[in-house]
Structure 1
């Protein structure tokens, strides 16, 4: 008898999970409470996978043998609670996909930097000639790739939401770049719940596996002391010379792992700032663990192109540089962004606040920010916090107005930086839409 698998959520991960489930002989049903993107509706129809949208047929879903849940659906929603009460397993797409591949998994998480690190790691491996796939939170469904392709390695960007519903997911190499308060609304405003979620990445790792982490993260180090996991540990540091591991010293990225030595000037890389030194060292560590040569690592580092919306230079107009960092959806990201510039900054921030604590950027803002433009429907928290701490504050709900104000305040040598610290959903579809509208508004200044 065919096992019944229900997919909750019909986005990229849901559609991918449905295709994989069908390919493995399951009786598949996909249910989305919202409206499916036409692209996914068309694919499901062409694959003869039954689906519904605009509702969840609970009686049908509660007859499932297994449920694969979109990471966007919290565990506390009544339908998920009912499934668990009935003893029906509810897992994530990355868990489901991992059950059907024998590829070595390189899983990357962290509150910040995971997209850049994932893309750079993938680029290093691909440049070196490895048969490697790229998937996860970065946009492509892991399950879809497993259903239709065959790779020896996968580089996966993994969010805390995806890690919440794993069971046996087992990376060969895991990376944890940092843990700072984020998504606390999802975790009952308890930071430890979020920490626990991130540490799920090493839950099934053994002494034969590797865990790369940032040594200067107090949260990670304290949690490791508590847990003492059996996994092989590889440290990344900006402040310490390591006998084994990867570190920055006198502007050089240095790595010594498994007797392999690597060194390259950080200035030769296309990515800048201390946060990107951490990201690069983490990616280099993966390459070292996989035995990629120093020459191949160097070639990959220097030919890398970063993702859009992450400290992306848009234009220089009248001597003022406009930078799109729309992907900075939490305070820690803004800390790293501000740390990347020595010039005076006009900061555009705001949006949907997720329980932000602005004290962690207060000192940097005081030193670097000559003006704060709050872009969002509810500017009060940012305005109140930074009132008297920056020379000028302006609030608006219009991105063109924000960019115009940046031009008005800017003088040659200044940076106008969109680095919001907040989610985008009050005024925009997502952070990409926010970044694209910012870039369009900047380019309007040229006309």
Structure 2
């Protein structure tokens, strides 16, 4: 009997365990941290062997295949030892993909991937049976086990792509590439770029790669490292023969001489970056033969993603906006770019080697006060101290919101867009966003 060892007992780990068991593997789940009770119950109920707060090395090294959680770096001594023994290490995406013949749309990028994946899924589900998984919702493995849809939209992180072998999406999307997670890539941007492009490395001439044609990082990489798949770029700046571009206020999408035209003013999502997300999603839908009318209506009705420029409440004519999902500088760039009123900006958390320079023009132009919310705010204080009249630090979300309430005037925005990871003060970005929303509702 083949032995499957799973490192990490979270959503992807437990999903893989259930699928592995059904497919006839002997399964063992090992987590160095504490496995959440809801996951323990699933493992116990399904009679799957597990351990937490330790790794039993002797047992792990007997595996035929190891699925490691995307959160575990390759540099971990245990992972190195597993690889040295010649044991195959895969991500959940790779493992689950072995047991489905579904048409896969894979979406990656530094920013915009959740919105693009959710929007793509929203359009496709009007006419197709389609699952949404990966970094979002239920794990891919669990969905392959329980629902086995004929189509999937997967939001895929670079960490998940690092551990693929044969996985290939029929349609791949790269929304953009900006420096992020460099702590996991030896602080070499080049390594991170290669990691993102693994989404296309197994594609053939019958597959498609949709990407931001205005993103120099992507276009330069493609020039020097050609892929097999058919290229369908999207652009706000230039005319595109095969792909999507902006013509006045219309999105024009052409694939094999078939054209679709959509007015951008009917999009529910605001901001230039969301025009790009809409272009990417429409291109996927067009390839999968969704009717033009359906695509247009879906773009008009889609409500957006929680924690991504989410309008929470208006209090005393001040709009409170939750952008907790902005865990890097580039995401915050889009948030500040779309602000159309003086803004009180709540920022901070675990800095992943951030360079805040690209934000300076917006901070000078739009930000009236900065509230630093993190354990260590020194870098933020030094960077923005001279740029704004008011800069305050705190370690409590409720206090940050109360300060913002005092500082903001009628007509202003209060924006939580941290540009940092959340792990210093919160469980994850969702927890941070919910605490913000609760604090706003308690005002």
* Alignment TM-score, normalising by the size of structure 2: 0.98
Aligned residue runs from structure 1 range 172-211, under 5 A: 172-211=170-209
Q: Secondary structure at the match of 2:379?
A: helix
Q: Secondary structure at the match of 1:130?
A: coil
Q: Secondary structure at the match of 1:207?
A: coil
Q: Secondary structure at the match of 1:185?
A: helix
> Residues 337-390 of structure 1, C-alpha deviation per residue, up to 9 Å, x if partnerless?
011122111110001111101012112211111111111111110110112122
Matched, 1:132 2:130: yes
Matched, 1:283 2:273: no
Aligned residue runs from structure 1 range 38-117, under 5 A: 38-117=37-116
CA distance, structure 1, for counterparts of residue 246 and residue 345 of structure 2: 28
Q: Secondary structure at the match of 2:241?
A: coil
- 1:427 counterpart (425, 428, 433): 425
Q: Secondary structure at the match of 1:421?
A: coil
Q: Name the counterpart of 1:299.
A: 297
Equivalent pair of 1:16/1:144 in contact (CA under 8 Å) = yes
CA distance, structure 2, for counterparts of residue 49 and residue 443 of structure 1: 42
CA distance, structure 2, for counterparts of residue 348 and residue 374 of structure 1: 6
CA distance, structure 1, for counterparts of residue 380 and residue 67 of structure 2: 38
CA distance, structure 2, for counterparts of residue 425 and residue 148 of structure 1: 32
User: Which range is displaced more, 342-351 or 250-259?
Assistant: 250-259
Q: Secondary structure at the match of 1:322?
A: strand
Q: Name the counterpart of 2:4.
A: 5
1:177 Cα deviation from its structure 2 partner: 0.6
> Residues 133-167 of structure 1, C-alpha deviation per residue, up to 9 Å, x if partnerless?
11001132111111122211100000011001000
CA distance, structure 1, for counterparts of residue 148 and residue 12 of structure 2: 18
> Residues 239-286 of structure 1, C-alpha deviation per residue, up to 9 Å, x if partnerless?
112222112232222211233222222221221101111111000000
Q: Secondary structure at the match of 2:220?
A: helix
Q: Name the counterpart of 2:367.
A: 369
- 2:243 counterpart (239, 245, 256): 245
Q: Name the counterpart of 2:15.
A: 16
Q: Name the counterpart of 1:36.
A: 35
> Residues 48-75 of structure 1, C-alpha deviation per residue, up to 9 Å, x if partnerless?
1111111110000001111011101111
CA distance, structure 2, for counterparts of residue 102 and residue 125 of structure 1: 18
- 2:330 counterpart (329, 332, 346): 332
> Residues 1-58 of structure 1, C-alpha deviation per residue, up to 9 Å, x if partnerless?
x111101111000001111111111111111111111111111111111111111100
User: Which range is displaced more, 265-274 or 319-328?
Assistant: 265-274
1:132 Cα deviation from its structure 2 partner: 0.7
Aligned residue runs from structure 1 range 303-382, under 5 A: 303-382=301-380
> Residues 271-316 of structure 1, C-alpha deviation per residue, up to 9 Å, x if partnerless?
1101111111000000111111110101211221212100000111
Q: Which runs of 5+ in 2 are unaligned?
A: none
CA distance, structure 2, for counterparts of residue 264 and residue 223 of structure 1: 30
CA distance, structure 2, for counterparts of residue 303 and residue 342 of structure 1: 23
Aligned residues: 443
CA distance, structure 1, for counterparts of residue 417 and residue 73 of structure 2: 27
CA distance, structure 2, for counterparts of residue 441 and residue 253 of structure 1: 39
CA distance, structure 1, for counterparts of residue 363 and residue 149 of structure 2: 45
CA distance, structure 1, for counterparts of residue 45 and residue 279 of structure 2: 44
CA distance, structure 1, for counterparts of residue 368 and residue 238 of structure 2: 33
User: Which range is displaced more, 247-256 or 235-244?
Assistant: 247-256
Equivalent pair of 1:399/1:438 in contact (CA under 8 Å) = yes
Q: Secondary structure at the match of 2:125?
A: helix
Equivalent pair of 1:135/1:156 in contact (CA under 8 Å) = yes
CA distance, structure 1, for counterparts of residue 340 and residue 330 of structure 2: 18
- 1:216 counterpart (214, 217, 237): 214
- 1:404 counterpart (374, 392, 402): 402
Equivalent pair of 1:260/1:288 in contact (CA under 8 Å) = no
Equivalent pair of 1:258/1:289 in contact (CA under 8 Å) = no
Q: Which runs of 5+ in 1 are unaligned?
A: none
